[in-house]
Each structure stands twice: as structure tokens, then as C-alpha cells.
Amino acid sequence: MNTRMQEGWTKDDLNGVIDRLENIRKGMSISSYRSKQVEEIFGIVQKDRDIVNSDAKIQKAMLGEEIFSVDDETGIVRFLYPMKSSTECNHCHINASENSINGVLDISFPHSDIKVSLDTVSFYLILFFILFILLIAYIFFFIINKKMVKPVVELTNNIKQIEESKDLASRVDIHTNIEELGILQNSFNQLLITIKYYYDELIKKLYTDELTSVNNLIKLQQDIEKIDEKCYLFILDIKSFGMINRVYGNKVADFLLQEFAINIEKLLKGNGELYRLYGDEFAILYKSKITESEILDYVTKLRSYIYKYNDSEFILDVTIGYTHSSDKNILEQATIALKAAKQHNKLIYQYDDSLAIKDEDSNHILWLNKLDKAIENNNIIPYFMPMKNTKTGKIDKYETLVRIIENDNIYTPDKFIDISIASGKYPIITQTIIKKAFEYFNDIDDIKFSINFSLSDITNEETTDLLFKYLDEYKYSQNVVIELLETEEISDFELLNKFINKVKKYGAKIAIDDFGSGYSNFNYILNLDIDIVKLDRCLIENLYTNQNSVVVVSNIIKAIKELDLTVVAEMVTSQEIESILTIHEVDYLQGFHIGKPQKDILI
């Protein structure tokens, strides 16, 4: 329209063009309206003026606002376009300024005219979106899966296989270009190398005698378990070695033991395994056939070695006890044979069954008589071992132990407990200790005491009835602790928990003894409603000299503490061990460093 007006077209000419457009595009309506400044020059079209005056939307458009609207009832789309004056327009519209409004175009058309185009746009938009999603899916499943997901899955499977096989020599091996996965793989493999190194070192220390670097007693016990055919086990004891140790000191004694072990291995030439048991006793596990003359030849050669230390010379003589058997008890058999060799002043003594019968019977009869006399004369008495509270530093708890007194001799349970069990007199011992312990603490209100209970005690109705009788009568029953001894594997948790629940009704506490040895494990803690865990001496005794023991014990303590249980450590034999356990927040300490078992408690 601007172009045609510049060519001199009149309004009638423009209306003709508009009519043709309306005929071509059915349903479209186009009108043009002059602004007041155009009417000043070209005159007023009255019907147009009337329409402008009656239509608020056209009036807004005359002020320069583009208007787009849709009639809710008819669906007619209306577009009002203000025609702004440009420099070219000012040649004719001499009263206009640039961007002033010369008029308004009023265009109306049915909404169906734009619906087709919107549907088309929507179609292509949806099509584009679907194609885009398919492209992303392709990238994810075929590129990302190959480059990232597959290597991650492979790495995970490799790690899982190593975990299941427990093969520390295995390595993760995946092929990937992803730098981070490569770093993770290398780090994991390096971790395996480190773990294997320390594991091998730990196993080496576990099975190796520190002084002589030969196998130790633990390794011998493990090797005996693997025996499936007859073999020889020799135990060698160095005569008068205790005297050498006392006269010349530990340094010389250690040197002699080291050299003695070297010479034995030279004689064996790989035909047998050498072990150091303890002190001056060694063992040889020999699987090949050997005659007594060959054994004598070995002994002769051992006795011929001269050991020199500075200006002193030593010749080490030996006594040997041995057995030839596939029995798992060959260590015990060889020990009995060595004992017999010493008793009969023999150089070499071979085990036979008569030795075991004689040794066992004499010991059994001796202690059975002592036990009967102790029961008859009321010489089974409680001894009390103190426990130190690490929070207060005070002794406020005691473990009740059993002793037999005979004249001026005091015997510990290791001498008579097995005999009492075998003879059926064990319940008498427990019942006596229950009675005497409660009577001793009858009027003491600020000290806790524990009584040891085995599984056989719990299943003995007479013993449990006596315990509950005293708990019922004792006014300070909250001070009582029942320590469960692990003399045999616990399988009937229902029976045990029934006993525990009854004990707890009196406010008494339950402890599990010797945790970390024998049958003891976290399964007992999880299945029994206990309050106190006592760490076994095997976990504690090497704390000051073995860092690995510290690591193991500290982690056990943390686990028990997280279960909100009290932790007691036995076998505290030095200030160093006490300090380590205190740092790791053990609640109570027990051992000869804290105090030895005594007939009376400290008041």
C-alpha cells in the first residue's frame, strides 16, 4: 500500500486492490482508515470516521499499537496494523513526521486459515522432537554404552570375581579409553598388591618363630590337621638350657637357639619340617621312613656341634621324644614320649599307648582324690580378681574365680576342672561358688561381682534354681554379672536367651567371656541379649609388641561399642597395655597388672 500511494494511487484505487484480495481469499476482510493528520490533507471519509469513532481497538491502533485478537464466539481473527510514516511518505503527507501514524489497516479472517499452518508446524515440531529423541537414544545406547557403561560393568564384574575367589594375586584388567576408569583400575590393582603384601607378612609372622625364623607351634598344629598318612613327629628338648640362660643371659641363649635351629635344618636337608615350640623345645615333622639308627645318627651329629660366642664354647645335648602315627594327637603323643624320656633318663624315647594310659590314669586318680577331699573339707573357695574402671580409675568390680586349698597349697582350675567334669562333680563346684560369693557380698552395696556359668551349668536345674534363689534374696542383685563361659559351642540360643531373660528380671547383667577365641564370634552377640563383652587374652597379650594386634583389637572394640555394650579386657600385664586399651576406650581392665586374684577384695 505504501508503494502504491507513492505512485499516486488514490483511496479508491487502493479499495479496488483490497476488493480483489478479498475475492481471492474467501472470508478475508480488509479495511483502511485515515488518521486525522491524513484527513487534514486528503479529506474525511465519513463512514470510515464513524467506524473509527465507534471502535476502541481501531482508536488504540491509531495511537501506534498493533492489535491481534480472536473473537470468542465467531473465531474470527482480527489484526490491526498502524501504518507509520516514513521519510518517503512526507513528500505527500507534508504535515506528518517520521513514525507518526498515517492510518490503520484492519484485517479479519477465519481462524481456520491459520489452523492449517499451526497443525503443520505442530506436525513438524513433533516429528523433529521424535527424531531428536531417537538420535539421543542412539548416542546413549550405542556410543555411551560402548565407551562408558560397558567398561564400568566389566570393571565391577572383575572386582566381584576377585572378591568371591579371594585370590589376592588376581588383577583387574579392562580395556578402556576413559582416563578415570584407567586410574580406578590401576588404583584397585595397587591396593590388591598392598593388601597381599601385608597379608603375606601377617601370615609369615603368624606361622613363624620370631627368634629363629623357623615354623612355630601354630604352624605345626595346622600342618598336623592336614596329615592323612603316618609320619614321624620328634620333639627335641635342649638339656640344661635353663642353666645356660640364667648364667650367660638372654643374649647368649637366643644366639644358641638360632644356631641350633640352623644346624637342624642343615641335617634335615629339606626332608622334614622344623618348628620351634617354646623355650628350648623344637619339633620335626618327618614324613619319610626313618630308622632308629638314622635318628641316633642325627642326634650324634647335633651333639657334635660346638657353638662359639665370644670366648665361650657350648655343646648342646638333647632329649628326644617321638611318635610314628597318623593320629591327630601326635603332638600330645610326642610330648608324653619326651616326658617319659626325661623320667627314665633316656636319650630317645618312642611313644606307645601304655605311656598315655599310665600318664593319664595317675594324674586322674591324684586329682580325683584331691577334689573329693576339697569337697568333703569345704576347701573349694572363691578368689576375687579385681577389674579397674577406666573412667574413674577405681576398682569397683571383681570376677569370682574358684580355687582349691590343700594345706598351704592353692590350686587353680586348670588342675581340677577337667577331672570334675569327667567325674560328674563339676555342678558341686559351681553351686559352692554361687553360695559363697553371694554370702561374701551380702552387705556390700557399691561393688559388682561376676560368677562364671558354663552351658552345662545353665542346663543343670539344681544349679540354676540355686542362682535364682540367691538373686531373689539378694538386695543388690543389680551388682551381679553372670559370665557365660565358652566351654562348648552354643547352638540352642532359645534355651540360653530364656535363662538370660530370667537373670535380667533381677537387674543382673550378662557377660560373654573369652570373646575372640574358641567358638566366640559376633553371631553370639547378635543372638544373645548380653550387656558385657570380655576380650580374650589372646587378643590382648601382644598389644604392646605387635601393631597388627592393636589394629584388630581397636576395630573389635569399635564394633562392640557401636552395639552399646560394655567392653572388658583380660590379660592386662603392663602399664603399656593398660594405656593402649584406655586410649581405645575399653571400659574395664583385668589382669595381673591391675591385681592378682585374692581371697579378699580391696576395701
Is 32 in contact with 104 (CB distance < 8 Å)?
yes
Identify the pLDDT of residue 494: 86
Locate 309 and state its grid cell: 660366642
Chain centroid to Cα 223, Å, comes to 30
Mean pLDDT of 165-189: 76
Mean pLDDT of 80-104: 80
Identify the pLDDT of residue 148: 66
Identify the pLDDT of residue 441: 95
Is 176 in contact with 151 (CB distance < 8 Å)?
yes
Sequence-ordered list of residues with C-beta below 8 angstroms from that of 404, at least 6 positions apart, any chain: 370, 371, 374, 379, 380, 381, 410, 411, 415, 416
Locate 14 and state its grid cell: 487502493
pLDDT at 287 over 70: yes
Identify the pLDDT of residue 521: 65
- Rounded CA gap, 217 and 478, in Å? 44
Q: What are the pLDDT digits (tens) for 504-527?
A: 999 999 999 888 765 556 777 888
- Rounded CA gap, 598 and 383, in Å? 5
Q: What are the pLDDT digits (tens) for 244-256?
A: 888 888 899 999 9
State which amino acid sits at residue 150.
K
The region that residue 391 occupies, defined by phi over 0 for left and psi between -120 and 50 for alpha, beta otherwise, is: alpha
Q: What are the pLDDT digits (tens) for 5-23?
A: 766 667 777 777 777 777 7
Q: Which of 25-34, 172-181, 230-239 has the highest mean pLDDT?
A: 230-239
Q: Are strands 215-216 and 272-278 parallel, antiparallel or unpaired?
A: parallel
Identify the pLDDT of residue 168: 75
Identify the pLDDT of residue 45: 85
pLDDT at 394 over 80: yes
Locate 97 and state its grid cell: 513526521
pLDDT at 210 over 90: no
pLDDT at 357 over 60: no
pLDDT at 460 over 90: yes
Closest CA to 453 of 440, 466, 439, 469: 466
Chain centroid to Cα 338, Å, comes to 45
State which amino acid sits at residue 168.
L
Q: What are the pLDDT digits (tens) for 125-152?
A: 888 888 888 887 777 776 666 666 677 7
Q: What are the pLDDT digits (tens) for 326-345?
A: 888 888 889 889 988 888 88
Residue 118: pLDDT band with limits 50, 70, 90: low
Residue 359: pLDDT band with limits 50, 70, 90: low
pLDDT at 116 over 70: no
User: How high is the mean pLDDT of the chain?
Assistant: 85
Report which secondary-structure segment, H or E, holds 360.
helix 353-376
Residue 171: pLDDT band with limits 50, 70, 90: confident
Mean pLDDT of 391-404: 95
% of the chain at pLDDT higher than 90: 36
Residue 114: pLDDT band with limits 50, 70, 90: low
- Rounded CA gap, 583 and 577, in Å? 10
Mean pLDDT of 403-426: 89
Of residues 123 and 331, the one with the higher pLDDT is: 331
Closest CA to 28 of 106, 117, 116, 109: 109
pLDDT at 205 over 60: yes
Q: Which of 75-79, 163-167, 520-524 has the highest mean pLDDT?
A: 75-79
The angle subtended at Cα 174 by Cα 172 and Cα 176, nearest 5°, is: 140
Identify the pLDDT of residue 256: 93
Which stretch of 35-39, 54-58, 306-310, 521-525 has the lowest confidence by average pLDDT? 521-525
Which stretch of 193-202, 319-328, 438-447, 565-574 has the lowest confidence by average pLDDT? 193-202
Identify the pLDDT of residue 356: 60
